[in-house]
Amino acid sequence: MKPYIAVFKLRVINGLQYRIAALAGVATQFVWGFMYIMIFEAFYRGFSGTQAISLEQLATYIWLQQAFLYFLYLWLKETEISESITSGSIAYELCRPCGIYGFWFAKLIAHRLSGTLLRCAPILVIAFFLPIPYRLSLPPDPLTFLLFVVTLLLGLIVVISLSMLAYISIFVTMSPIGSFLVFSVVGEFFSGFVLPIPLMPIWLQNIVYLLPFRLSVDLPFRVYSGNIPTNDAIIGILTQIIWIIVLIAVGKFLLTKMLKRVVVQGG
Amino acid sequence: MIKIEGLSKTFKVARRSSGLGEAVRSFFSPKYSEVNALRDVSFSIDEGEIVGYIGPNGAGKSTTIKVMSGILVPDSGDCNIMGYVPWRDRVQYVKNIGVVFGQRSQLWWDVPIVDSFELLRDIYRVPEDNYRKNLNMLTETLNLSEIINTPARQLSLGQRMRCELAASLIHDPKILFLDEPTIGLDAISKIAVRNFIKTINKENNVTVILTTHDMNDIETLANRIIMIGKGQILYDGNLNKLRDKFVTHKTVTIDYNENASPIELNGAALLSWSKDRATYAVDIKQRGVSDVISELSAKLEIIDVAVDSEPIEEIIIKLYKEHQV
């Protein structure tokens, strides 16, 4: 475990260096957050009857989404890994006495964690003091908050085990852009990043619930706002664990297969 | 220590001619051709040797290094290094080797060098005492104390290469693979790198296999060379023997007090002559250089003598030509 912890540590240290990028990120996230809430506010006004998710819950959902963007966004790409495949510097990683899967996994967790640490605090703090309906509200009770933390962390693992598949596909496509474009367009929509899932038509919701993507974004944020009750949250956690086991098994299998026929690019 | 037998590896390479038409055509039916990077390569290397692995570009040097360091899986052939098959026992095996790819970097670009070293310490599970000891030794011999706290991106190539070398030796490897360790370095850095390789070989008995295009590297470091061309081994043996085989003449240049007429010698062709200087190509199979000089000194009042043998580069070129690579 020590090597993986070490690479995790160094990647966090590395990630914490990019302060200006984080600052710019925070500003962007505020703009997006306000924009989304305003759009939904307009929709809600023009619509009589009750929605599956209240505007206050939706505002909370969107602020969490903006604050934890770096944590859960599927298109977030760790360029070092993709470059190591396309440029061939993966050669060095293959000379280390560790499994590549675990090595990359640790790097990816650290990458997302360091980015989030730099970005989430200002967004969360300010969003707490905004006027209603823009305010980020507190979770209904401590248990909900605990469930939120668990689903959020498991959600991170789901995202990373999913994105590992995208990194592995680079061995075949040799193009990180292509791999991630397909992956993120599909993933982002089905995870509830573009449109919160309760606002989708029922037939689409049925599809979304079958896929693993929603376990990353939709589940933790709706657990926080109380839109998903405790029982469903616990079922959600179990589903997360099952998906994580499946995704990691598939990823490890594919990576082993790829490494057998790996070609180190560029001489 | 290293035993390689019948190693072969082919790569599939996409090929097309230039132009838009060709690009469109290859979009629908890409053409591939096979490149035999290694063809039946066999050799063995003993503990403590320094072996220079040479050959023209694209000969298969790096491929061999990559197979030996467990990165590539060959199509056929056996490779046994310290009892391991590199690609099969990769994780167990790589603890025992250090690798430097001259064209790539193993240092983290944005963090100080020492952070990269500490990561390697943890990855290889080097005990703290050993790490301290090795780090001190490496810092001293490679003169790293001033640059170790600087991020890799702010180092010059020579400084970085010294750090790369250090990084590959933190875990006390038994074998060191160096793929063009002196590429792009200035003369001073090259000498520093060479001296270091020598030291590490002598003091820690590290087996070193290095590829290079710089014949000075080979001359100062390796007593044995393996030459590869088009994926096949062309020469494996002592550098001096290679020289004996290919060096047939030595050039003797003498300066003397004015002399009117040129002197003809047996077994030495007169290349040029002037009033105060003459150059001879001595056929060393026919007569010795000292013999020629003593004959000349009897006839002339010699001021200065210079003996040049063919540089190793020329020999290698001859060898490449002989094998048409």
| Chain A touched by B72 (CB under 8 Å) | yes
Residue with tokens 């080979």: B218
| CB-CB contact of B54 with B227 (8 Å) | yes
**Do B120 and B233 share a domain, yes or no?**
yes
Residue B262 counted as domain residue: yes
CA angle B299, B302, B303 (to 5 degrees): 165
B232-271 per-position pLDDT tens digit: 898 898 888 877 777 778 888 989 888 778 888 888 888 8
- A89 and B115 within 8 Å at the Cβ level: the answer is no
Interatomic CA distance for residues B88 and B86, integer angstroms: 6
| Chain A touched by B29 (CB under 8 Å) | no
Average pLDDT of chain A is 88
Residue with tokens 């248990």: A143
Average pLDDT of chain B is 87
**Do B171 and B52 share a domain, yes or no?**
yes
Residues of chain B neighbouring A14 (CB-CB closer than 8 A): 108, 110-111
Nearest CA in chain A to B116: A10
Question: Residue B23: what are its φ and ψ, rounded to 5°?
Answer: -65, -40
Residue A253: is its pLDDT beyond 90? yes
Q: Choose among B37, B51, B3, B7: nearest CA to B178.
A: B51
- B123 and A99 within 8 Å at the Cβ level: the answer is no
Q: How confident is the model at residue B299, as a pLDDT?
A: 85
B residues 87-106 closer than 8 Å to A (CB): 90-92, 94-95, 97, 99, 101, 103-106
Residue ranges of chain A whose CB lies within 8 Å of a chain B CB: 2-3, 5-7, 10, 13-14, 17, 87-89, 91-92, 94-99, 260-264, 266-267
Q: How confident is the model at residue B230, as a pLDDT?
A: 86
Q: How confident is the model at residue A5, as a pLDDT?
A: 87
Place A267 in a pLDDT band, splitting at 50, 70 and 90.
Answer: low
ipTM of the complex: 0.78
Residue B233 counted as domain residue: yes
CATH of the domain at B297: 3.30.70
**Do B108 and B228 share a domain, yes or no?**
yes
Residue A49: is its pLDDT beyond 80? no
How many domains, chain B? Answer: 2
**Do B293 and B255 share a domain, yes or no?**
yes
Residue B78 counted as domain residue: no
Residues of chain B neighbouring A98 (CB-CB closer than 8 A): 91, 123
Q: Provide long-range contacts, Cβ within 8 A and 24+ apart, for A37-44.
A: A37/A62, A37/A133, A37/A134, A41/A133
SS3 A231: helix
Please give the average per-residue pLDDT across B296-301, as a whole number: 85
Please give the average per-residue pLDDT across B146-161, as a whole number: 90
**Do B254 and B239 share a domain, yes or no?**
no
Q: How confident is the model at residue B178, as a pLDDT?
A: 92
**Do B127 and B259 share a domain, yes or no?**
no
Nearest CA in chain A to B113: A10
Place A179 in a pLDDT band, splitting at 50, 70 and 90.
Answer: confident
Its domain, for residue B133, covers 47-73+83-243
B169-200 per-position pLDDT tens digit: 999 999 999 998 888 888 888 888 899 899 99
Specify whether the backbone of B225 is left (phi greater than 0), alpha (psi in -120 to 50) or beta.
beta
Nearest CA in chain A to B121: A3
**Do B216 and B282 share a domain, yes or no?**
no
Residue B121: is its pLDDT beyond 90? yes
Closest in B11, B70, B99 to A263, CB measured: B11
**Do B230 and B183 share a domain, yes or no?**
yes
Interatomic CA distance for residues A134 and A35, integer angstroms: 11
**Do B141 and B264 share a domain, yes or no?**
no
Residue B318: is its pLDDT beyond 90? no
Residues of chain B neighbouring A89 (CB-CB closer than 8 A): 104-105
Residue ending a domain, choose from B243, B273, B291: B243
A-B Cβ pairs (cutoff 8 Å, strict): 78
CATH of the domain at B55: 3.40.50.300
* Closest CA of chain B from A17, distance in Å: 8
Q: Count Cα neighbours of A15 within 13 Å in the Cβ-side half-sphere.
A: 24
| Chain A touched by B70 (CB under 8 Å) | yes
Q: How confident is the model at residue A266, as a pLDDT?
A: 59
A83-116 per-position pLDDT tens digit: 888 888 888 888 888 888 999 999 999 999 988 9
- Which residues, including other chains, have CB under 8 Å from residue A72's CB and lie 6 or more apart? A65, A112, A155, A156, A159, A191, A193, A216, A217
B44-77 per-position pLDDT tens digit: 999 999 999 988 888 888 889 999 998 888 999 9
* Closest CA of chain B from A88, distance in Å: 8
Residue B33 counted as domain residue: no
**CA distances from residue B277 to B15, B22, B32, B309 in whole angstroms, order as listed:** 57, 62, 60, 18
Residues of chain A neighbouring B73 (CB-CB closer than 8 A): 260-261
Residue B101 counted as domain residue: yes
| Chain A touched by B115 (CB under 8 Å) | yes
Query: Of A261 and B111, which is predicted with more confidence?
Result: B111
**Do B236 and B292 share a domain, yes or no?**
no
- A89 and B105 within 8 Å at the Cβ level: the answer is yes
Interatomic CA distance for residues A137 and A140, integer angstroms: 9
**Do B202 and B275 share a domain, yes or no?**
no
| Chain A touched by B34 (CB under 8 Å) | no
Residue B11 counted as domain residue: no
* Closest CA of chain B from A12, distance in Å: 11
| CB-CB contact of B9 with B72 (8 Å) | yes
Please give the average per-residue pLDDT across A146-151, as a whole number: 94
**CA distances from residue A189 to A173, A207, A237 in whole angstroms, order as listed:** 23, 12, 21
Q: How confident is the model at residue A224, as a pLDDT?
A: 92
- A17 and B94 within 8 Å at the Cβ level: the answer is no
| CB-CB contact of A237 with A147 (8 Å) | yes
Instruction: Give me the DSSP letters along B86-147.
Output: TTTSHHHHGGGEEEEETTS--S-TTSBHHHHHHHHHHHTT--HHHHHHHHHHHHHHTT-TTT
- B111 and A10 within 8 Å at the Cβ level: the answer is yes
A63-79 per-position pLDDT tens digit: 999 999 888 887 788 88
Please give the average per-residue pLDDT across A137-157, as a whole number: 92
Residue B119: is its pLDDT beyond 80? yes
| CB-CB contact of B214 with B185 (8 Å) | no
Residue ending a domain, choose from B206, B226, B243: B243
Q: How confident is the model at residue A265, as a pLDDT?
A: 66
Residue ending a domain, choose from B221, B243, B265: B243
**Do B225 and B256 share a domain, yes or no?**
no
Residues of chain A neighbouring B111 (CB-CB closer than 8 A): 10, 13-14, 17
